[in-house]
Chain A
Amino acid sequence: MVFLSIAAVALCCALLIVVASMFTGFIDAIGRGASDNLGDIVLEPPSELSVPDFRKFADMLEADANIASATGVLYSRGLLHLGKGDVKRVSIWGIEPAKRAEVTTMKQSLLRQKSQAEPPDFGNHSGELAGFIGIGLLQKPDEITDEYDLKKARDFIGSKVVLTTAAARKPFSREVPAPATYPMVISDIIFTGLTEIDQSVVYMRIEDLSSVLFPDSNEPLRADIIQIRCKPGVNPQNMVNTVWQIWRDYATGELGWSAALACGAEVMTAVQKQNDYIQELRKQLGMLMVIFGVVSTGVVLLVFCIFYMVVMTKMKDIATIRAVGASGWNVAGIFIIYGAIVGLTGAIAGLAVGYVLVVNVETLEEFVRVAFGLKLWSSSIYIFNKIPSEYDWLWAIKVFIAAIVASTLGAILPAIAAAKSRPVRILQYE
């Protein structure tokens, strides 16, 4: 019967740990995805403004001993005609490919250039625009396996598409510039595993995008956002103030901005940038754990019932122990320790089962897909194409402790009943 309570404790622990690990893994993946694609620290100038001559600012940042690299990105939106009747809306990112490869993990996501030693580039296409295009713009992942056909995607490299985007509205002007179309050569395919990027982004040279957005401008290149990678071992959180200081010096000194205007910029780590969403997800995780936790309090009842039964059936033994001199507390202690051991054993089993499930979650999901035709994880819904499979040790410890406490709690009342037993009455002959 005691094995039943161990099994119940194990079941609850395993369930709670799987839920917590999956959720935390998802939250961590959001933070990691942000860092991989935005760098460690992000600087955004005040609303509606960009960072003029961003390369000079990037040089100032790179002069700091703790900053490995910095680069600027210019943003726009557009439409892309990919083939017959196939038009997609896209986010256009003007980038410095070599620098961006230092700041982010962009190079690993390029199908053609990821294995080459040289830094990535857009190649020479005799004056035509060239771009890296998200794989999700070219094809949909397979409905059953949720995987892209990478070979088919590579075939698009070198082909031409038509991009349309509009020049930026001039400051203080109400005139909205009309868009123009540009033929573009697909120079590489982006496959980050992050749905939002894979399905909507087109990278092009920042110089090219700048000339499209600001056709009449002779000023040095500007950027809408500065992305910064810290040197290995440096905590980005500790560098935010340094970046802020460099920015203020640059904005007020080099650009001649007022201190108030310069202060309108935002400097934060890439993970902080996702903070609102991450906080909301943490709240949802907390609620889910409370719900499952409340249901799991059934374990306390179960342990109580089982221990009550054990105490009732072992009354003669308890009375004998008490008759030879054991105090009520000694007897109660036996059952409380017994309860704790049940909790400990169940928790260890639950943690082990949870670990196996979390680490093999991809295999398990594939099994469910093959056996029942049910695709549980879809990249278009859950942002990433990989299921988080990191075991959350922090939650595991919390659940472990909670399981032992719950089992011990369940054993307390039966233990008190055992302690209050009266050996003379139990052991009398009749």
Chain B
Amino acid sequence: MFKISLPIRYLIKRPISYLAVGAVALCVFIVVVVMTVMNGLVQEFSDLNHGYVGDCVVVSDSLVGFAHYEKFMSELQKQPFIAAVTPVIKTFGLVGSDATRSSLGLEVVGIVPQMHQLVTNFENTLYYNKGDAKDVFVPPYDANLPGCVTGVDLMYRRMADGSYNYVPFASKLPITISCFALTPRGAVVQMGRSAAINTRTFYFCDTSNSGLARVDTDSIYLPLDAVQQMTAMSGENPRVSALLLKFSAGIKLDDGVQKTQAMWNNFVESEGQSELAFLFDSVRVQSWKSYRREVIAPMEKEQVMMAIAFIMVGFITVFIIFVIFYMIINQKSRDIGVLKSIGTSAGSLFAMFLGFACLIGLAGSAIGSLGAWALLENANRLERLLFDKFGWQVWDRSIYAIGEIPSDINPAVLSLIVCSAVLACFLGATVPVLRGVRRNCADVLRVNQL
């Protein structure tokens, strides 16, 4: 019974315990806030990347792409684990309009919108055609003109609060796009004595706000067949840069990727003698995580570095617990002596004090978590208030492509932090408690020691 009642009594009656609880609460509060924000940013960024590419990618390393993709697509579409497939061309183009004096070098993305929206989140990134990308390349002012979609940052300015200065209707803006025409071997197609550069004019239809800064400042979307013609990837054996895949519900990512890889290997084997089969050598099958690793990994790395920094600072909490337990054990040596003299084992005393440490850890974690929850719940409201009153933001939204401050506490992260706090309390308490419970009760209860 004393194993339960004494820790509770110590926690309530000893003011020094409040200090330990306060130290734990402070640490937990800061770690929960920072890790929630960082975790939220990483998660949001990962989700945006997932939405941008789908579940799996069959992609060529070379700009010349690969052929026979239609045949492989039809094989994929027969599979129950595949929900949708879409072909994509990614190349570079020189983009000019009468709004700028000189041209810009951008990533040109050729897509089939009605297929693309089944695999990616493209339809939800649009402004004028939000929710349905089927007619996204049809200009509202003249359905006969060839249309294009630009990254939102190319067309509209991002304001300090993160919104864009959209206008209600897409204006008739001609955009001239030029691409190198490459042979399947990668050489520039020659026209007479000079290299061929294909130029076509498209008309602005919509903008795509994927939430990925590099994509939104750098990309222009065109109909797949138009890009195929401009890059000389059309003809008898049309080529694409990649196939994006969405797996059926319930299919695990790794399983889906493995099945796709196996199908691709069989396809390459069966098509090994076909024309342009050499282009298969540069094709890889990757999950979206692996495909976007280069952009997601740095954020994850920073999250890890921040966690390491907090672990270092967390040692101070261990020190505080150590000192507080040292004091408590010294002050409670009489209790220890009495308990030992009536037959309580050292192990029971050890367990009692560790229970006390656990209580401190739990109480501190509860207070810290509650404080963190209260702050995070109101973080965006608070930031808006600070912005309205003082023009201050956590991140300048005109510089960083970040929306709201993430405020959803991840239960897994919270559990990890609470467990770490309790563990820190155990660590801090162990040495003083061991020292205390090892003392001989006869020594402790001597008159001159009382």
Contacts and interface: CB of A to CB of B under 8 A. Distances in A.
Interface of A: 1, 4-5, 7-8, 11-12, 15, 19, 48, 75-79, 81, 83-91, 162, 164-166, 168-169, 174-181, 183, 213, 276-277, 280, 283-284, 287, 291-292, 294-299, 301-302, 304-306, 308-309, 312-313, 374, 376, 378, 381
Given A79-B93, A166-B94, A287-B394, 7 more contacts: A19-B309, A78-B105, A86-B62, A179-B199, A283-B396, A295-B27, A295-B30
A376 B188 contact: no
Nearest to B19: A301
A309 B188 contact: no
Interface stretch (B138-146, B248-256, B315-323): B315-323
A162 B196 CA distance: 10
B41 to A, nearest CB: 13
Contacts of A1: 323, 326
B63 A86 contact: yes
A104 to B, nearest CB: 22
B106 interface: yes
Interface of B: 16, 19, 22-23, 26-27, 30, 34, 62-64, 91-94, 96-98, 100-107, 174, 176, 178-180, 182, 185-188, 194-197, 199, 201, 298, 301, 305, 309-310, 312-313, 315-317, 319-320, 322-324, 326-327, 330, 394-396, 399-400
Max chain B C-beta neighbours (<10 A), residue from A5, A213, A295, A313: A295
A11 B330 CA distance: 27
Contacts of B326: 1, 309
B26 A294 contact: yes
Nearest to B62: A85
B309 A15 contact: yes
Contact of A162 (B63, B188, B305): B188
A87 B92 contact: yes
A89 B313 contact: no
A85 to B, nearest CB: 3
Given A11-B315, A179-B197, A213-B102, A305 B176 contact: no
B180 A87 contact: yes
Contacts of B16: 305, 308
A276 B298 CA distance: 23
Contacts of A85: 62-64, 182, 185-186
A162 B313 contact: no
A7 B315 CA distance: 10
A131 to B, nearest CB: 15
B91 A280 contact: no
A291 B316 contact: no
A86 B395 CA distance: 37
Contacts of A294: 26, 30
B195 A298 contact: no
B323 A15 contact: no
B30 A291 contact: yes
Contacts of A301: 19, 22-23, 320
B92 A166 contact: no
Given A8-B319, A301-B22, A378 B298 contact: yes
B171 to A, nearest CB: 14
A84 B60 CA distance: 14
A169 B316 contact: no
A322 B25 CA distance: 38
Contact of A305 (B26, B313, B323): B323
Nearest to A377: B301
Contacts of B309: 15, 19, 292
Contacts of A162: 180, 188, 195
Contact of A77 (B27, B63, B102): B102
Contacts of B298: 378, 381
B174 A176 contact: yes
A176 B176 contact: yes
A304 B324 CA distance: 10
Max chain B C-beta neighbours (<10 A), residue from A169, A177, A376: A169
A15 B312 contact: yes
B231 to A, nearest CB: 9
26 contacts: A4-B323, A7-B319, A76-B103, A77-B103, A79-B180, A84-B185, A86-B186, A87-B180, A89-B92, A90-B105, A162-B188, A169-B100, A179-B103, A179-B178, A179-B197, A277-B399, A280-B395, A280-B399, A295-B27, A295-B310, A298-B316, A298-B317, A301-B19, A302-B319, A374-B301, A381-B298
A12 B27 CA distance: 13
A359 B50 CA distance: 40
Max chain A C-beta neighbours (<10 A), residue from B103, B180, B310: B103
Contacts of A76: 102-103
Nearest to B322: A4
A183 B34 CA distance: 53
A165 B19 contact: no
Contacts of A304: 19
Contacts of A84: 62, 64, 185-187
A1 B319 CA distance: 10
A1 B93 CA distance: 67
A180 to B, nearest CB: 7
Contact of B197 (A88, A169, A181, A309): A181
B26 A164 contact: no
A306 to B, nearest CB: 5
A206 B426 CA distance: 70
A250 B131 CA distance: 55
A300 to B, nearest CB: 10
A378 B396 CA distance: 24
A86 B188 CA distance: 10
B314 to A, nearest CB: 8
Nearest to A378: B298
Contact of B176 (A178, A280, A284, A296): A178
A89 B105 contact: yes
B197 A77 contact: no
Max chain A C-beta neighbours (<10 A), residue from B22, B178, B182, B324: B178
A361 to B, nearest CB: 13
B186 A309 contact: no
By Cβ-Cβ distance, the 10 closest A-B pairs, closest first, are: A89-B105, A85-B186, A84-B186, A85-B62, A181-B195, A298-B316, A176-B96, A305-B323, A176-B176, A174-B98
A257 to B, nearest CB: 18
B304 to A, nearest CB: 8
Max chain B C-beta neighbours (<10 A), residue from A85, A169, A306: A85
B102 A79 contact: no
Contacts of B400: 280
B301 to A, nearest CB: 7
Contacts of B319: 4-5, 7-8, 302
A312 B100 CA distance: 77
B25 to A, nearest CB: 11
A89 B64 CA distance: 16
A175 B97 CA distance: 8
A277 B394 CA distance: 14
Given A86-B63, A179-B94, A309-B327, A166 B103 contact: yes
A228 to B, nearest CB: 23
B301 A376 contact: yes
Given A19-B309, A164-B197, A179-B197, A88 B399 contact: no
B328 to A, nearest CB: 10
Nearest to B398: A276
Contacts of A309: 323, 326-327, 330
A169 B91 CA distance: 24
A174 to B, nearest CB: 4
A165 B92 contact: no
Contacts of B201: 176
A312 B317 CA distance: 22
A391 B324 CA distance: 36
A81 B316 contact: no
